[in-house]
Amino acid sequence: MTKHVCITGCTKGLGHALAHWFLNEGWIVSGLGRDHESIEALQSDASEDRGFFRIVDVTDESAVGAFAADLAAKFGAPDLLVNNAGLINANAPLWEVPPEDFGRVVDVNLKGVYNVLRHFAPQMIERGSGIMINLSSGWGRSTSAEVAPYCATKWAIEGLSQAMAQELPAGVAVAAMNPGIIDTDMLRSCFGEEAASFGNAAQWAERAGPFLAKLDTSINGKPLTAP
């Protein structure tokens, strides 16, 4: 039976690389993101019988709900959900971060994850199976200067995932995963050209994809780290 993965923030970076890895492995792949051209390209690559990609902002709870319902009608609940969508603040001491920037980081990285879990967890619970992975960060288990808003949201993802894990029935699991350090636009916003010294997203997906594909409910509530 063909498995199904749903990836948020699938239009660039780690999410985009993961979507292509899973498509190449024969999975049904669904995803949401905000880049129109990237969504169209992914849908074209996947074809209608193996992909379901839509333009959705994870901060829009009603749009996430509509996406989840439409996806369930076409392919059913995903076997694996990867909450990848996220952003980081421009480097600055906390007191110099504009309120709107702080709010946007919280809205995407934390509220966006909640919005997705709110609509997909019930589908998995009803079916009796499913794995939900919320991408955290090394900065969800440690801290650095000038990225306090980002750190705050990723520490929150760790706690949210562990608490939710205690609420799930047998057969369904959730965990936070630190993806590691990868050369993405997000990392370049922090590290500048030094980010190039780390492996790119496609290389990361070649390692992380097999790891994610093999997860089972024994990971429930555990702090994971991608290989």
Q: Among 183, 213, 98, 112, which residue's Cα sits nearest to residue 153?
A: 112
Q: Are 155 and 134 in contact (CB under 8 A)?
A: no
Identity of residue 126 = E
Catalytically annotated residue among 52, 53, 75, 150: 150
Can you tell me the distance from the alpha carbon of 217 to that of 78, in angstroms, rounded to the nearest whole number?
A: 14
Contacts of residue 62, defined as CB under 8 A and 6 or more positions apart, other chains included, come to none
Can you point out the beta strands (E) in the chain? Answer: 4-8, 28-33, 51-55, 80-83, 130-135, 172-178, 224-225
Q: Catalytic annotation on 114?
A: no
Catalytic residue IDs: 150
